[in-house]
């Protein structure tokens, strides 16, 4: 399906306006930044663990909150308020509608990533790699977030699917050291891949593009493939608007 | 004779084995206001969904402006406007912002928004947030959104449902004006007075089946009872059989002047009731 840049641009403008007027979604976006302030200023845990650890925690939160919770809520909101139907009847293609929301969320995630990085004050030599890997890790999750939006009838119901998915992506990487099972689960997650690559570079164990990190890049790529596949199956089966 | 804007031939669709529309045949000419009348659940909205490529029929042929709805959805949506209870607004945005989104999507000139706002008497409220508008004003805004791109064909699904009489009257004026400007209107309603006032032709739909199609005035004559009403100068009205002898006898025996003699015509509501045995609700 051909995507029209002019329509996506118009939709993105609209999505930014919608976000600006919605306190709930604004709070979801701010959450990783608030935690970053908490970890670095109020409870300076980085003094003991190094500044990378709070950054990774907040970035994992960013990788989960925005693509899954925020994106699915944005899609579901337009379904719930019938504005999606109105857009579709105005010659907006479903994929343009979703692409606009995914671009907006991705852009906002990037802004949050930069903000967190600057708040933590980590050496700038890690910055490019950090941005690149977090973006790579986010793509598969973005497709899953859009899928959650397609599957949900309204904003309330997004939580039913998004909460378990968020827990799955967030908890195993954080508690991977506790036992082997969690470690194995964590290995398969893009959030963990992001943490491992960043840890390796920070502790001088493995450079960003070293062979040791290839398995983690592979995990991110597999998640992108899975994300696109699941999205396609659900989209073809349900359509974006199942009314 | 105007060209057909909409044709439906032997169209049928069912949901969970229940026929929602059964063998529907209608033709709507360019430039007319066509009323699709029936009670709730008769299949009016389903018909609009079929005509606007939101649903596919199980059988039969549909043509909208010379093409099958799903043939070129993009072209179809460039040429039609829809106002239904499924139409949504961006409540947190202003009237102008709501229209701006669609103006950008349709790539319309900047002058179009003030033009439509003026047409819908919304100029003063352009900066107001949609959530602050009254129901009638929201309906106007939905109207503005539906006609923003100057569609050739406008689908109106119960456009005055839940509106007060004064706002309904405003909506009627807008529909008439649009039609004068050349827009073909496909209107669904269960309000027979509204249909009588606006529509050049109507179709009666009951339980997915078309019961009758025609010009309101012709239908009234067709279903007129064989009786006439005589109005006398003193205001009394007498209804007698439509029979030459009976009329002559009545006129000769009356000791007062006659104002009018008129055939007793049913209104659309009565015709619908006679045809279907159902009240419109």
> Would you kindly state where each structural domain of chain B is located, as residue ranges?
4-220, 225-264
CB pairs under 8 A between A and B: 60
pLDDT band at B86 (very low <50, low <70, confident <90, very high): confident
pLDDT at A243: 52
pLDDT at B266: 84
Average pLDDT of chain B, as a whole number: 91
Distance from CA of A8 to the nearest CA of B (A): 9
pLDDT at A16: 94
| Residue B127 clears pLDDT 90, i.e. is over it | yes
Select the residue from B52, B88, B139 to test the A interface by mutation, using most A Cβ atoms within 10 A. B88
Q: Which residues of B touch A (CB under 8 A)?
A: 52, 54, 73-74, 77-78, 82, 86-93, 97, 101-102, 104-107, 145, 149
pLDDT at B50: 95
Q: What is the largest CA-CA distance in chain A?
A: 57
Chain A residues touching residue B82 (CB < 8 angstroms): 89
Q: Which domain holds residue A217?
A: 5-238
| SS3 per residue for chain A | CCCCHHHHHHHHHHHHHHHHCCHHHHHHHHHHHHHHHHHHHHCCCHHHHCCHHHHHHHHHHHHHHHHHHHHHHHHHHHHHCCHHHHHHCCCCCHHHHHHHHHHHHHHHHHHHHHHHHHHHCCCHHHHHHHHHHHHHHHHHHHHHHHHHHHHCCCHHHHHHHHHHHHHHHHHHHHHHHHCHHHHHHHHCCHHHHHHHHHHHHHCCCCCCCCHHHHHHHHHHHHHHHHHHHHHHHHHHHHCCCCC
Q: In whole angstroms, what is the distance from residue A103 CA to residue A108 CA? A: 9
Q: Which of the two residues, A227 and A243, has the higher pLDDT score?
A: A227
**Partners of B29 in the β-ladder:** B4
Residue A20 lies in a domain: yes
Q: In whole angstroms, what is the distance from residue A110 CA to residue A144 CA? A: 18
- In this structure, of A65-79, A200-214, B220-234, the range with the lowest mean pLDDT score is A200-214
Chain A residues touching residue B106 (CB < 8 angstroms): 90-91
Residue A209 lies in a domain: yes
Q: Which residues contact B3 (CB under 8 A, 6 or more apart)?
A: B29, B30
pLDDT band at A49 (very low <50, low <70, confident <90, very high): low
Residue A168 lies in a domain: yes
State pTM to two decimals. Answer: 0.84
| pLDDT one-digit tens code per residue, B146-197 | 999 999 999 999 998 878 888 889 889 999 999 999 999 999 998 888 999 9
Are the Cβ atoms of B86 and A9 closer than 8 angstroms?
A: no
Complex-level ipTM: 0.84
Are the Cβ atoms of A18 and B145 closer than 8 angstroms?
A: no
Looking at residues B9-23, what average pLDDT do you find? 93
Q: What are phi and psi of B20, to 5 degrees?
A: -90, -35
pLDDT at B10: 96
Is the backbone of residue B182 left (phi > 0), alpha (psi -120 to 50) or beta?
left
pLDDT at B190: 86
- In this structure, of A213-222, A227-236, B147-156, the range with the lowest mean pLDDT score is A227-236
pLDDT band at A48 (very low <50, low <70, confident <90, very high): low
Residue A243 lies in a domain: no
Q: Quote the CATH superfamily of domain B4-220.
A: P-loop containing nucleotide triphosphate hydrolases (3.40.50.300)
| Residue A242 clears pLDDT 60, i.e. is over it | no
Are the Cβ atoms of A89 and B89 closer than 8 angstroms?
A: no
| pLDDT one-digit tens code per residue, B199-211 | 999 999 999 999 9
Q: In whole angstroms, what is the distance from residue B123 CA to residue B109 CA? A: 17
Q: Which of the two residues, B156 and A41, has the higher pLDDT score?
A: B156
Q: Which SS3 state, helix, strand or coil, does residue B15 take?
A: strand
Chain A residues touching residue B101 (CB < 8 angstroms): 10-11, 13-14
Structurally, how many domains does chain A consist of? 1
Chain B residues touching residue A78 (CB < 8 angstroms): 88
Tell me which range, A8-12, A27-31, B245-249, is most confidently predicted by mean pLDDT: A8-12
pLDDT at A174: 87
| Residue A123 clears pLDDT 90, i.e. is over it | no
pLDDT at B273: 86
Q: What is the largest CA-CA distance in chain B?
A: 73
**Partners of B35 in the β-ladder:** B187, B202
| Residue A163 clears pLDDT 60, i.e. is over it | yes
Of B137, B186, B135, nearest in space to B30 by CA: B186
């Amino acid at each position: 399906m051909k995507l029209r840049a002019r329509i996506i641009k118009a939709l993105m403008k609209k999505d930014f306006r919608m976000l600006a007027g919605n306190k709930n979604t604004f709070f979801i976006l701010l959450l990783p930044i608030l935690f970053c302030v908490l970890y670095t200023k109020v409870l300076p845990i980085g003094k003991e663990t190094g500044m990378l650890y709070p950054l990774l925690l907040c970035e994992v939160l960013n990788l989960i909150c925005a693509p899954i919770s925020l994106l699915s809520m944005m899609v579901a909101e337009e379904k719930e308020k019938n504005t999606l139907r109105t857009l579709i009847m105005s010659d907006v293609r479903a994929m343009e509608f979703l692409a606009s929301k995914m671009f907006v969320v991705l852009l906002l995630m990037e802004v949050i990533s930069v903000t967190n990085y600057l708040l933590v004050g980590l050496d700038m030599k890690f910055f490019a790699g950090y941005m690149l890997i977090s973006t790579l890790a986010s793509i598969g999750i973005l497709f899953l977030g859009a899928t959650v939006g397609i599957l949900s009838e309204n904003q309330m119901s997004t939580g039913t699917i998004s909460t378990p998915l968020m827990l799955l992506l967030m908890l195993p990487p954080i508690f991977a050291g506790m036992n082997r099972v969690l470690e194995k689960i964590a290995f398969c997650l893009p959030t963990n891949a992001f943490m491992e690559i960043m840890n390796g570079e920070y502790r001088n164990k493995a450079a960003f593009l070293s062979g040791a990190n290839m398995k983690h890049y592979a995990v991110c790529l597999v998640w992108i493939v899975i994300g696109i596949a699941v999205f396609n199956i659900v989209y073809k089966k349900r359509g974006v608007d199942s009314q | 004779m105007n060209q057909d804007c909409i044709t439906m031939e032997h169209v049928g669709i069912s949901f969970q084995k229940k026929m929602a529309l059964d063998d529907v045949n209608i033709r709507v000419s360019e430039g007319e206001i066509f009323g699709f009348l029936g009670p709730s659940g008769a299949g009016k909205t389903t018909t609009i969904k079929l005509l606007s490529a939101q649903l596919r029929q199980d059988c039969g042929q549909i043509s909208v402006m010379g093409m099958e709805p799903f043939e070129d959805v993009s072209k179809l949506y460039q040429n039609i406007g829809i106002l239904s209870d499924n139409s949504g607004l961006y409540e947190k945005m202003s009237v102008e912002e709501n229209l701006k989104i669609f103006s950008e999507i349709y790539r319309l000139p900047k002058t179009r928004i003030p033009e439509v706002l003026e047409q819908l008497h919304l100029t003063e409220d352009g900066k107001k947030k949609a959530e602050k508008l009254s129901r009638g004003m929201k309906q106007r805004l939905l109207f503005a959104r539906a006609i923003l791109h100057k569609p050739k064909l406008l689908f109106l699904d119960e456009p005055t449902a839940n509106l007060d009489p004064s706002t309904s009257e405003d909506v009627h004026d807008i529909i008439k004006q649009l039609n004068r400007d050349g827009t073909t209107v496909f209107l669904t309603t269960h309000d027979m007075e509204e249909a009588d006032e606006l529509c050049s032709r109507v179709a009666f739909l009951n339980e997915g089946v078309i019961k009758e199609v025609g010009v309101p005035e012709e239908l009234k004559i067709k279903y007129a009872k064989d009786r006439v009403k005589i109005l006398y100068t003193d205001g009394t009205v007498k209804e007698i059989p439509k029979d030459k002898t009976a009329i002559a006898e009545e006129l000769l025996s009356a000791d007062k002047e006659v104002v009018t003699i008129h055939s007793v015509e049913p209104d659309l509501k009565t015709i619908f009731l006679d045809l279907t045995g159902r009240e419109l609700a």
